[in-house]
Amino acid sequence: MTDGPLIVQSDKTLLLEVDHDLADDCRREIAPFAELERAPEHVHTYRVTPLALWNARAAGHDAEQVVDALLKFSRYPVPHALLVDVADTMARYGRLRLEKDPVDGLVLISTDRAVLEEVLRSRKIAPLLGERLADDTVAVHPSERGTLKQALLKLGWPAEDLAGYVDGEAHAISLREDGWELRSYQKDASDAFWHGGSGVVVLPCGAGKTIVGAAAMAQVQATTLILVTNTVSAHQWKQELLKRTTLTEDEIGEYSGTKKEIRPVTIATYQIMTTRRKGVYSHLELFDARDWGLVVYDEVHLLPAPIFRMTADLQTRRRLGLTATLVREDGREGDVFSLIGPKRYDAPWKDMEKQGWIAPADCVEVRVTLTDSERLAYATAEPEERYRFCATTETKTRVIEALVEHHKGEQTLVIGQYIDQLDELSARLDAPVIKGETRIKERERLFDAFRTGEISVLVVSKVANFSIDLPEAAVAIQVSGAYGSRQEEAQRLGRVLRPKASGAGARFYAVVARDTLDQDYAAHRQRFLAEQGYAYRIVDADDILTGDEI
């Protein structure tokens, strides 16, 4: 028994004492196989889940490493039953394997016949399989490769996919070597993807996920379909590829609401891919438009259901998912695991900060006390309107004005959910606003003006949550959000994490109405960042309104 920072409990929860000297080391070692559930001030609660253990196993961690981490940091003896369960759960991964047989084609092979017999009796599995070829082998319909992996995961027997990939249409792509080089972690991430065949790379915002994508393309050397969140992101991908690779303008196509170019490297938006007319997703045929050698999913945690369904049929193509967080509020992390691939590389945010690759950030929750009339109006509002009401009050608006004034001269983003609130803030702050209806050219003009310092305050809606490169943004003020979305919180902090030319840190404010749903949602939103080692300090809005230092 040691004075470690961790208490390991038999129900698979881990309690981490945040203020302990070894807390950061412990957090780093348990992150690959434990998920954060609660993050109050002093003790964070993690849970060891099967999916996290299987991700760890696919990434090369074995049960011995997991057990060693628990024993190393635990303050009290670790329950023996939990250690046994960890080993048994991780041993489930790979007992079923998908392989390509030169004679029989795609087959499911088991190292444990009892497991194979169990899954063969599942009503959801049986229709996906062909004839029994041997005691330990059964044929698989090639078109059901992805669907089978989904179904097996839900049964608790995740299959290791070793069936390989088609090369796709060859296309020469090389990284330029003029004036820059891959950072060590970017090379490690690209190599981990290449050796794994398909999977997900998790890197903080601002750490160069696009460059990892370019490096992967240079390894695959084939035609590539890149799926992105919006047209601005598509343009940024194109510019980055032109800058970092030997690809030319003629080799890169854009497939969006305004253009339908299909070229050796094609960048398409999720929005156009999921546009439905008369019940038909007509643009999903883009997946079959070329013999793609690689499909890249930017912000993979946002994948819409139709893309999941189409990806189930793309299992012979190499697939790379890029994201800052695998958190999905709909609980479909398992679909990302089975259809895109397991997590191949994950860099903790705080590690990247220590190495200077992302800016240090000070996270501040500003607690606002509503006026008596606002509190009464909130209390009597319809349940479905309460969050909008408390997130958009006049009292919060005054605090936001004070924060912007406090950071006058610094590049500041004001980020929110509700368009009428953003329009009002735009008028009150005398700052331009970017929202869904803002034309692409105008968005890009305003983003460029912000980058150059021509404008110092920009009001943005959720359209700026993802894949927007604003390296000099130093302050972000979050005024409202998508309820308790953890991934949105992470993405919004990411807007200010790109290293500054001055070397300065970043400030991220979440303005929250006290004793309301706003406060409850804020606690949930902050969980992912707490897992990454960020702590929110809470200040009272009155201190800001009176001009006190914060």
Residues paired with residue 199 on neighbouring β-strands, in sequence order: 320
Task: Find the angle CA(137)-CA(139)-CA(141) to the nearest 5 degrees.
Answer: 150
Q: How far apart are CA 544 and CA 164, in angstroms?
A: 58
| CA dihedral over 538, 542, 545, 550, signed as positive or negative | negative
CB 412 within 8 A of CB 464: no
Count other C-beta atoms under 10 Å from residue 407's C-beta: 16
Q: How far apart are CA 321 and CA 188, in angstroms?
A: 15
Residue-wise pLDDT for 301-320, tens only, equals: 888 888 888 888 888 899 99
Residue-wise pLDDT for 142-183, tens only, equals: 889 999 999 999 999 999 999 999 999 999 999 998 878 899
Residue-wise pLDDT for 452-473, tens only, equals: 889 999 999 887 766 566 767 8
What pLDDT is stored for residue 465 in this prediction? Answer: 65
CB 510 within 8 A of CB 478: yes
Q: In whole angstroms, how large is the CA radius of gyration of the chain?
A: 24
Any idea what DSSP says for residue 174? Answer: -
What pLDDT is stored for residue 134 in this prediction? Answer: 92
**Angle, helix 486-494 to helix 517-525, in steps of 10 degrees:** 70
What pLDDT is stored for residue 6 in this prediction? Answer: 95
What pLDDT is stored for residue 282 in this prediction? Answer: 78
What pLDDT is stored for residue 354 in this prediction? Answer: 84
Q: How far apart are CA 452 and CA 358, in angstroms?
A: 20
This prediction's pTM = 0.83
Task: Find the angle CA(473)-CA(475)-CA(476) to the nearest 5 degrees.
Answer: 100
What pLDDT is stored for residue 144 in this prediction? Answer: 92
User: What length is written for the chain?
Assistant: 550
Task: Find the angle CA(171)-CA(176)-CA(180) to the nearest 5 degrees.
Answer: 150
Structure tokens at 361: 């950030």
Where the chain has pLDDT below 70, the residues are 1-2, 39-41, 465-469, 471, 483-484, 547-550
Mention every residue, 6+ apart, whose C-beta is less than 8 A from residue 28: 348, 351
Q: How far apart are CA 199 and CA 193, in angstroms?
A: 6
What pLDDT is stored for residue 471 in this prediction? Answer: 66
Q: How far apart are CA 341 and CA 145, in angstroms?
A: 12
CB 344 within 8 A of CB 196: yes
Count other C-beta atoms under 10 Å from residue 401's C-beta: 16
- C-alpha distances (whole Å) from 527 to each of 11, 15, 76, 462, 496 are 20, 14, 26, 20, 19
Residue-wise pLDDT for 318-368, tens only, equals: 999 999 887 777 778 888 889 999 989 888 787 888 888 888 888 899 999
Strands 96-101 and 43-47, bridge-based pairing: unpaired
Q: How far apart are CA 403 and CA 477, in angstroms?
A: 8
What pLDDT is stored for residue 258 in this prediction? Answer: 83
Q: What share of the chain is helix, strand, coil (3-state, %, to 5)?
A: 40, 20, 35
- Give percent of the chain with pLDDT exceeding 70: 97
Minimal CA–CA distance to 157: which of 97, 200, 107? 97
